[in-house]
Every structure is written in structure tokens, then in C-alpha cells.
Amino acid sequence: MRRKDGSVAHSLLHRSEKCQSTLATCSTIVDEASTSTSNNSKSVTDAKTDTAKRKSSRGSKKEVDGDMKEKEVHTNKKRIFARTRKAATKTSDNISTNQENKKTDNCKLKRGADSFKEKKVNNRAKSKAEVSAASSVPEICMQSSIDGSVIEKKPLVPLYPPRAKSVVVVESATKAKVIQKYLGDMYEVLPSYGHVRDLAGRSKSVRPDDDFSMVWEVPAAAWTHLKSIKVALQRAENLILASDPDREGEAIAWHIKEMLEQQGVLGFDVTVARVVFHEISEDAIKKALMSPRYIDMDLVNAYLARRSLDYLIGFGISPLLWRKLPGCQSAGRVQSAALALVCDREAEIEQFKAHEYWTVQTDFKIQSADPSNATCIPFCIKHLNSKKLDQLSIPSQEEAQAIEKMIHSSTFEVLGVKRSKIHKNPPLPYITSSLQQDAANKLHFTAGYTMKIAQNLYEGINLSSEETTGLITYIRTDGFH
């Protein structure tokens, strides 16, 4: 539209210049006509003078010739005046016509310029509207309507098979190398090495009076990693955030997106998507790329709440503990609560009053003709004299021995046999806590050493005849899905 409007304006300007040239030509014609008229009038006056002289000198004989010449001059004069008047009228008409054409062309030129400006303004307004609409999409995707219903999000296009160059961001370099082998050259996999920013290590980094706003700082090493991502995005159309599938991983993806937006890297031609996978295998990663989603702001808000609590409790209580109890460890959201549980349990132990109790267990032998087939059935006394025994029903050794004598002097018989099938499920997969417990009880590993080994198994190891492969699913979990 801009080129077309520009050509129209140029054409109108050319026509205006042509009209001005025509007006200049008409003015020249009028001047020449006026000069011709004055010259003709002078010629007529000279002709009259010559005629009078001839009449006086030649006498009456030449009066007829003089009259004829005078008539001829008068006729020529009429012709000259007629031609002059016709030329002047034509020139005046041309001038009027040219002036009207000039006004018309000027109106058209003005109208065309106004139309061009109006179209340009409309195009700018339309572009601004499109920009505003595009910039409001992520906010709409993260908000809910007033009545509580979730606003429908625009679905993202599957990112596998690849249609354009993509940058994939994961947390560790080992994971990046493994995933790069699975995806190929259309994907550039880069590590973020964990969080790219954190709360500033000073007071008032969390401001409860200002809607719990936070002051962030970026470590020096994180700037290097962000620069690598920024350079890679210059030749890519998609940014895929593939950090860990938990609350902290969601927060890392959110921090990366926020930092790149502040630096003006994420334009409207870059699609930002979040993908999650629970195991590092080729099938799991490609399936995750086929179902991208937006960043889950509920998980991000949970992270922000956790981080603000850590800061407020740690910065509020730790200095007090250091002053009151020298050598004391710092306080924290988790360790302080765990310490409170330990203290409560210790208080219960100190207040416990010991009670003596006994249990009676017997072994019943089944008589058989073949001694090799004799069996022994262990049995714990749960009922005595038609009364159910609880843990403290036999409070002394004397009572236990009396029950034992009564059993030896009694005769027992089998009243019935009940057979049933028992279905035993296989053991459940490990979660973080059960893995650490079994590793500590069976292998005497510390929790940190156990998690280090599990992290290596998750990110992948080099097998003898295969490529680097992840052997277990994501390790930081409290569920089985």
C-alpha cells in the first residue's frame, strides 16, 4: 500500500507542475497579444496621418484612392481587433480552465496525500493493535476470568517433527549432550546450569508491604549462559524450555523467559514453549516435543511463595540464633520445622512412663505316623477365658507363667481349616524418600551420596555397546506418576 500511495502522490505532483507550465505559456500568449494589439493600433494611426497628407497634397483626384485605403485600413483594423479579441478570449478561457484544473489537481493532490496519510496512520494503528494483541497473549494465558473460569489458551503447534530451527534449554550439560544426539541438527540444546537468578543476598529483598515484591540478582556465571542462549536465538524461531518437571524446573523456565524478554531477545517471531519429560530417552523426548504447553504459573507462584518464606524466616531468625546461641546453625523453612518435630518427640520420650507387659506364644505340633512329616504351628495367645488380650493384659511374669502351665495341661484340637489365595503385589517404585531409606539401611549410603548416584543414572551413562542412556526416571518426586 505504501508504494502504491507514493506513486499516486508523485503522479498528482507531476500533473500540478504541468498545469503550472501551461499557465506560464498562457500568460506569455496574453502578453504577445497585447503587444500585437498596440502595434496594430500604432499602424492604424500612422495610416490615418499618411492618408490626410495624401489628401492635402494630391487633391481631390486622389480622394477616392484615399477613401479606399482608409476603408481597407479600417477593415484590417477590425480584423486585427477581432483576432486579438478572439485570442484574448481563448487565452482567458484557457487561463480559467487551467486555474480550475489546477484547483482540481491540487484538491486531488491534497486528497491523495490525506488518503496516503490516513492509510499510513491506519496501517500504523493496525500494526500497533496487532502488536498489542500479540503482547497480551501470554498474559491472557496466565490469567482467569472474573467468574473463575479459565480463559482458553491458544494451542501451541507440535515442535516435532521440526519445521524450523529450535533452541532447547535444559539444566545440565550432560543432559544437553544426550538430548542433542537424539534430536539432530534442527535443534540446538544448551544447558542453563540451574537457576539463572536468585534473590539478592541483602535485606529487604522480599517486601511484604509491597505485595511481596522481590529483588533479583543474576550471578556472573549465569550471564555467560544467557548470552549463549541469546546468540543461538538469532538463527532460531522456537525457544523450548525443557527444565526438570517439578516446581523448581518450572521456576527455572520462567526465570529464563523473563530475563530474555527484559533483554529484548524474544520478539513476536519467536515461539516460547514448555515441554516436560520424566525420563531421558529418545521416545520420551520426542513425545514431549509433540505436546508443548505454556509455563504453569501455579507452579511458579508456589516457587515464589517457597522462596519468599525461605528468605523471610532465614533472614529473620538466623541472626537472632547466632547472637543468642553461638555456634548454632542457621534457621530455615524446612530444617526449623524438622527440628521442632525432633524436639517434640524427645519431650514425649522424657515424659513416657514404662509399663511391664508379657506375651505368651506356643508351638503346636501335629502328630503323624511318619516323624519326617511332623509339623509345628506357632501360635500367639490373643484370647483367654473368652476375653481379648491387648498389649498390657499380661502385666507380670507370674501371670504369664500361670497361663503357660494352663496351656500345657490342656488338650487342643483343630476345629477347621481355611484355605485362601493371597495376591501379593510387586514392590512399588522408589520415590525420593524410600530410595534414601533403603540406600541408608541396606548400603549405608548418606542421602547426598544416594542422590548424586541417582542423578547420574537419570542423566545417562555410557554403556559398553550403546550410546549414553538414562536408566531411571526423574529422581526428585513424592509420587509414582
Q: Where do the domains of the chain lie?
A: 2-142, 166-295, 305-350, 361-408, 427-481
Q: Please say whether the beta carbons of 242 and 277 come within 8 A.
A: yes
* Angle formed at CA 247 by CA 145 and CA 193, multiple of 5 degrees: 125
CB distance 286 to 277 below 8 Å:
no
pLDDT confidence tier of residue 139, bands split at 50, 70 and 90: very low
Band of pLDDT at residue 128, cut at 50, 70 and 90: very low
Query: Which of 149-163, 198-212, 281-295 ranks highest by mean pLDDT?
Result: 281-295
Distance CA 75, CA 81 (A): 10
Based on the residue annotation, tell me whether 449 is a catalytic residue of this protein.
no
* Distance between CA atoms of residues 254 and 266, nearest Å: 13
Q: Of 303, 311, 430, 474, which is the active-site residue?
A: 474
Residues whose CB falls within 8 Å of the CB of residue 236, separated by 6 or more in sequence, listed in order: 164, 165, 166, 167, 188, 270
In the prediction, which pLDDT does 318 show?
A: 85
Domain 166-295, CATH 3.40.50.850 — does that match? no
Contact between residue 279 and residue 473 where contact means Cβ atoms under 8 Å apart: yes
Can you tell me the mean pLDDT for 278-306? 95
Give the CATH number of domain 2-142; options: 3.30.1330, 3.40.1130, 1.10.287, 1.20.1070: 1.10.287
pLDDT of residue 222: 93
Instruction: Decide if domain 427-481 falls under CATH 3.40.640.10.
Output: no
- Amino acid 143: pLDDT: 36
Cβ neighbour number for residue 183 with a 10 Å cutoff: 19
Evaluate if residue 470 carries a pLDDT over 60. Answer: yes
Fold agreement (2-142, 427-481): no
Half-sphere exposure for 188 (CA within 13 Å, toward CB): 16
For residue 420, name the pLDDT band (cuts at 50, 70, 90): very high
The Cα–Cα gap between 191 and 169 comes to 6
DSSP E strands in 195-318: the ranges are 198-199, 206-207, 213-214, 216-217, 238-241, 271-274
Whether the Cβ atoms of residue 303 and residue 249 lie closer than 8 Å to each other: no
Q: Taking residues 186-207, report their average pLDDT.
A: 92
Confidence of residue 43 (pLDDT cuts 50, 70, 90): very low
H helix intervals, 1-62: 2-58
Point out the least confidently predicted range of 34-43, 330-339, 418-427: 34-43
Q: What percent of the chain has pLDDT over 70?
A: 67
Indicate whether 190 pLDDT > 60.
Answer: yes
pLDDT band, very low/low/confident/very high, at 477 (cuts 50, 70, 90): confident
